[in-house]
Amino acid sequence: MAESIVDIVKIDNILKVENCSTRLRLTVKNNKDGIEDKDLKALGIYGIKRLGDQGLQLIIGTDVEHVANEVQTLFLINEKNTNMNKKET
């Protein structure tokens, strides 16, 4: 599920990954462009809350911690690769 969420939200759009007991809380650059509720719900996500332009909360349920850890790992790998590419140029 985590990889599919990242594919929909776009890894370069993610600024911060957090979770509570049932929600994956993402801070993103833009929570509207290209992020379709129907695509997220097709993954089994129960609901989507958008807060302002940058807040995106995905209601996943009690398995959210595992999903959040996977999204965080993908985010950190991307961030590390981006920083390495900046140093090379």
Which residues are catalytically annotated?
Answer: 20
Q: Encoding tokens for residue 64?
A: 């959210």
44's enclosing H/E stretch is none
- Beta-carbon contacts of residue 68 (< 8 Å; ≥ 6 apart): 17, 18, 19, 24
